[in-house]
């Protein structure tokens, strides 16, 4: 069983001063899986990833990453992991091919010249290999970063918000590539804020204030939250939302385009609360809660849950 797990860690904890940034997180990621890592800004996602690849020393925790001890064998882990930082972290005053060449040398890649050439070709960067990395647009920088992370043929890729600031077309291409690579046996741990990306992951984990709140498939996560959701269409939705928010039993009233999603985790209480509003000109319909409803709910209530 353990052979099937690319990441298998328990009790991972990191404190900065007296602030606990990552609190006792256990995570298991299967080989060949695309694992989505979600949570609001500052929830500890980046810190957790940094601990996995040896960039930060964990204060507590144990387990394995690619079969190596996550605390003591960071050197081995580094050799087999590709880490794409949140902020573009390649050298802007080096060209594309120089950046790839440097990375290949650092990892001691065999047939380096060939590996660099192939990597440039595969990513469709062939015409621009002499261009300085700093002159690239966001999408191209992201492609370069991914190419550089792959050049030493890692078994696990840790991608920290890889598509932040990238246009939809480039994002779609990027995810297509991720799925192709995963099919070849690569494992991915990806942090993201985008719901559509979260839904493309095989499994998800949601963390907030350093705590792992829920994990599993998209359906698991939605079911875990036990949310009932109604959608409302009609005029003056903003005012309606304001009134609804004051009702007990209504936990969320969020606008989605021309629609309002009204949710609560107690179906009966919610139904009672919205009863006076269920009249013309508004049209009410009970819908299946989406991932976004679930996440907004988690985000808004996680603090209360854990301070209680």
Partner 1 sequence: MKKHPPFSLERLWAILVKEFTQMRRDRLTFAMMLGIPLIQLMLFGYAINSDPRHLPAAVLLADDGPQGRTLLYALQNSTYFDFTRQVRTETEGHDLLARGQVQFVVNIPQNFSRDLLRGERPSVLIEADATDPAATGIALGSLGTLLNTALANDLKGPLAFLNATPGPVDLRVHALYNPEVVTQYNIVPGLMGVILTMTMVMITGLAITRERERGTMENLLAMPTRPAEVLIGKITPYIMIGYIQVAVILIAARVLFHVPMHGSIPLLLIVALVFIAANLAMGITFSTIAKNQLQAMQMTFFMFLPSMLLSGFMFPFRGMPHWAQWVGEVFPLTHFLRIVRGILLKGNGLPDVARELWPIALFAVIMMTLGIKRYRQTLD
Residue 102 within binding range of partner 1, rule CB under 8 A: yes
Q: Which two tokens stand for residue 269?
A: 């209480």
- Shortest spacing between CB 83 and partner 1, in angstroms: 4
Instruction: Give the footprint of partner 1 on residues 116-135 (CB under 8 A).
Output: 132
Choice between 56 and 273, CB closer to partner 1: 56
Q: What's 223-288 look like in SS3?
A: HHHCCEEEEEECCCHHHHHHHHHCCCCCCEEEEECCEEEEEECCHHHHHHHHHHHCCCCCEEEEEC
The count of C-alpha atoms lying within 13 angstroms of the C-alpha of 29, restricted to the half-sphere facing its C-beta, is: 32
- Answer yes or no: are the C-beta atoms of 267 and 228 closer than 8 Å: yes
Residue 90 within binding range of partner 1, rule CB under 8 A: yes
What strand order describes the sheet that includes 19-30? 19-30, 5-16, 60-65, 68-69
Residue of the chain from 73, 265, 271, 300 that contacts partner 1 (CB under 8 A): 73
User: What is the rounded (10 degree) CA torsion for 290, 293, 298, 301?
Assistant: -150
Choice between 93 and 184, CB closer to partner 1: 93
Residue of the chain from 1, 3, 41, 108 that contacts partner 1 (CB under 8 A): 108
Give the distance from CA 149 to its chain's centroid: 17
Q: Which two tokens stand for residue 240?
A: 């309606």
- Pick the piece of the chain touching partner 1 (CB under 8 A) from 29-37, 89-97, 113-121, 280-288: 89-97
Residue of the chain from 3, 93, 219, 304 that contacts partner 1 (CB under 8 A): 93
* Residue whose entry in the numeric block shows the structure tokens 């629609």: 259
- Pick the piece of the chain touching partner 1 (CB under 8 A) from 19-27, 73-81, 135-143, 243-251: 73-81
What radius of gyration do the chain's Cα atoms show? 22
Per-residue contact flags (x/-) with partner 1 for residues 25 to 64, judged by CB under 8 A: -------------------------x--xxxxx-------
* Contacts with 62 (C-beta within 8 Å, 6 or more apart), sequence order: 9, 10, 11, 69, 70, 71
Q: Which two tokens stand for residue 57?
A: 């020393």
Residue 83 within binding range of partner 1, rule CB under 8 A: yes
Residue 85 within binding range of partner 1, rule CB under 8 A: yes
- Shortest spacing between CB 195 and partner 1, in angstroms: 27
Residue of the chain from 10, 32, 76, 131 that contacts partner 1 (CB under 8 A): 76
For partner 1 (CB under 8 A), the number of binding residues is: 31
Residues that bind partner 1 (CB under 8 A): 50, 53-57, 73, 75-76, 78-79, 81, 83, 85, 87-94, 98, 101-103, 105-108, 132
């Amino acid at each position: 069983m353990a052979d099937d797990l690319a990441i298998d860690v328990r009790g991972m904890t990191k404190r900065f001063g007296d602030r606990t940034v990552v609190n006792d997180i256990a995570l298991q990621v299967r080989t060949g899986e695309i694992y989505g890592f979600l949570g609001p800004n500052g929830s500890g996602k980046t810190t957790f990833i940094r601990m996995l690849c040896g960039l930060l020393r964990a204060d507590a925790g144990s387990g394995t990453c690619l079969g190596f001890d996550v605390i003591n064998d960071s050197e081995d882990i580094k050799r087999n992991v590709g880490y794409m930082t949140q902020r573009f972290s390649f050298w802007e005053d080096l060209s594309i091919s120089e950046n790839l060449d440097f990375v290949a040398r650092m990892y001691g890649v065999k047939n380096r010249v060939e590996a660099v050439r192939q990597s440039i070709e595969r990513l469709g960067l062939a015409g621009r290999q002499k261009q300085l990395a700093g002159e690239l647009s966001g999408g191209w920088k992201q492609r370069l970063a991914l190419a550089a992370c792959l050049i030493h043929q890692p078994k696990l890729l840790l991608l920290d918000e890889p598509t932040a600031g990238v246009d939809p077309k480039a994002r779609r291409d990027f995810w297509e590539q991720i799925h192709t690579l995963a099919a070849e046996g690569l494992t991915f741990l990806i942090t993201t804020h985008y719901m559509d990306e979260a839904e493309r992951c095989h499994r998800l984990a949601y963390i907030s204030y350093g705590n792992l709140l829920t994990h599993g498939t998209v359906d698991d996560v939605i079911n875990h939250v036990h949310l009932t959701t109604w959608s409302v269409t009609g005029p003056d939705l903003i005012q309606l939302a304001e009134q609804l928010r004051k009702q007990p039993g209504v936990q969320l009233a969020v606008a989605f385009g021309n629609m309002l999603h009204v949710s609560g985790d107690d179906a009966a209480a919610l139904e009672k609360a919205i009863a006076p509003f269920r009249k013309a000109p508004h049209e009410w319909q009970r819908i299946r809660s989406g991932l976004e409803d679930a996440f907004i709910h988690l985000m808004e209530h996680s603090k209360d849950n854990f301070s209680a």
